[in-house]
Amino acid sequence: MLISVVIPCYNVEKYIQECLISVYNQTHPSLEVICIDNNSTDSTFEYLEYLRNTYYPSLIVLSESRAGAPFARNKGMYNAKGDWIQFLDADDIIEKNKISHQCSLIPMNENIGYIVSGCKYKDIDGNFIINSFLSNDKFTSAFIRQSGNTCSNLWNKKHLLAIGGWNVELKSSQETDLMFRLTLNGSSYLVDNEINTVIRAREEGQISQSEPGLRWSRFIDVRLCYLKCLKSKYPNVYNTNRDIFYNYLLWAILILLKYDKSAALKYFTYIKKENWRVLNLYGISKKKGYFIRFLGLNAYNEFMRIKNIYTKL
């Protein structure tokens, strides 16, 4: 089975060779590797051509002028010849058995849209954090971030094409949006309990991690849009899981509150109108949840402000 490896590249001349080494060391015998330069301002494109001419003659090097990883991933996806796609960021690496192992899990059932797996995060100091929290519930897993990620998962190209690929309008939360749309379109997934992907942190060249208020607002917006569609298409699923959904949104709103009070208040006003019960979830006790639910976010914010003042005394 041919697997297409799609790697968007933006200012990654320092990292791409190690990434490609991990790809070409794969034990899976049939790979197509596509690198897409995405308006790099360093020598990434030239270095990709050098690597192709010197080491990897089968490497496909493309360019995408529209900025953003979703554009680059879509270009790779539409050019891919494989039935399944391994998306990989240029500064990340995969263990040699990653693709062959996940290919062994692929069933004859065409309803499987992707295979989910955990990963190891490597920070800039070389420390590892294991993310192995995975859920078998396709309707809630992406919502609560328990359905793997872009690089640790393996993706069925047919299912991706059916939903139009990556949403190029989003600046963040793209993989969550992708999995939501796959779910709403009827796709299911399989869980892979092995961890064979290393996500590496770096200080420069990535999509900006600035403006956390905007990122958390998008985080919430994507989920509210999903709930609206889920409520319409799968009302029983929505009703069964709405306590989980809205408690998770409350957790996200409390994080947003640190960066953008007005946006947090707007979202809280919206979810407060919905019918859901406070649960002891996501680090929010029932006592704290009920306080916020019935006295409001402003009262909670003022309480925390006064508490912090007295803590410093």
Domain coordinates of the chain in residue numbers? 3-200, 212-312
In three-state secondary structure terms, 256 is helix
What pLDDT is attached to residue 163? 98
What pLDDT is attached to residue 205? 44
Both structure tokens of 272: 């407060």
Identify the residue whose tokens are 């960066």: 259
| Helix axes 212-233 and 174-184, enclosed angle (nearest 10) | 0
What pLDDT is attached to residue 133? 84
Using only C-alpha atoms, the chain has a radius of gyration, in whole angstroms, of: 21
What type of residue is 212?
Answer: P
CB 95 within 8 A of CB 192: no
Distance CA 294, CA 194 (A): 43
Check: pTM over 0.75? Answer yes or no.
yes
What pLDDT is attached to residue 38? 95
Cβ-count burial 221-254 (b if 16+ within 10 Å, e if not)? ebbeebbeebeeeeeebbeebbebbbbbbbbbbb
User: What CATH number does the domain located at 3-200 have?
Assistant: 3.90.550.10
User: Average pLDDT for consecutive 10-residue bins of the chain (313 residues)?
Assistant: 98 95 98 97 96 97 95 98 98 97 89 95 85 91 96 98 96 95 96 95 59 95 98 97 98 96 96 95 93 90 80 63
CA distances from 21 to 135, 203, 303 (A): 31, 22, 53
What pLDDT is attached to residue 209? 59
